Amino acid sequence: MPTLFRFLFVCGMIAGVIYGVMFALVLFVEPRERDVTVRIPSERLNPAQQTQKQAEQ
């Protein structure tokens, strides 16, 4: 039984350290806001029109 208790204690300590690190990140790290621009090819926006043009050729 002491081995099981030791195992659970170590798992609890690891979980507590991980939780503490996550909590510290929430408190001390401030995210930066910035604009995000993503280019999308027109083939992905209008696939039906592209297939019609290819069929006409």
- What's the pLDDT tens digit per position in 1-57? 789 999 999 999 999 999 999 999 999 999 899 999 988 887 777 766 555 555 565
- pTM to 2 decimal places: 0.53
Burial class (CB in 10 A: 0-12, 13-18, 19+), 50: middle
The predicted structure's pLDDT at residue 33? 92
